[in-house]
Amino acid sequence: MKEKIALLWQDKRVLLLLLAFLCAASFLPAQEGMTQEEKRISRTLSQIDGAGRVQVTLFYTESGSAFGGGKTCTGALAVCEGAGDIAVRLRLMQALETLLGLDSRQVAVLKMEESL
């Protein structure tokens, strides 16, 4: 009987740990849901003078070619602290266009909401 109770208690600890992890994950910064490529680009763009914090989201379509398919980047959205300055916004747009091979209609750079 003691063994069964010990096993049940052990299972409860696992469930409690899982529940704690899920609760903690809901409070992680938005960057945790980003792909490695989005994180890398965000870090790079944040180095641009005046940009501040940057979060990038990339948009893809599936390539339907007969030779392997894959994904093609079709758009990029950057949200950054410094985008209120038009010069910073233009530098970020140019960087995204160059880096991803996109044109200006496929790139948007918006000002990040100020934290309280």
User: How do the domains of the chain map onto residue ranges?
Assistant: 1-28, 34-111
In which element (H, E) is residue 80 found?
strand 71-80
pLDDT of amino acid 81: 96
Query: Exposed, middle or buried: residue 50 (CB in 10 Å: 0-12, 13-18, 19+)?
Result: middle
- Nearest-CA neighbor of 25 among 17, 15, 14, 37? 17
For domain 34-111, give the fold.
GMP Synthetase; Chain A, domain 3 (3.30.300)
What is the predicted pLDDT for the residue at 114?
80
Q: Does this model's pTM top 0.75?
A: no
Per-residue confidence (pLDDT) for residue 11, from 0 to 100: 55
Q: Which of 42-56, 64-78, 100-114 has the lowest mean pLDDT?
A: 64-78
With CA atoms as reference, report the closest residue to 76 among 113, 115, 40: 40
Residue 63: pLDDT band with limits 50, 70, 90? confident
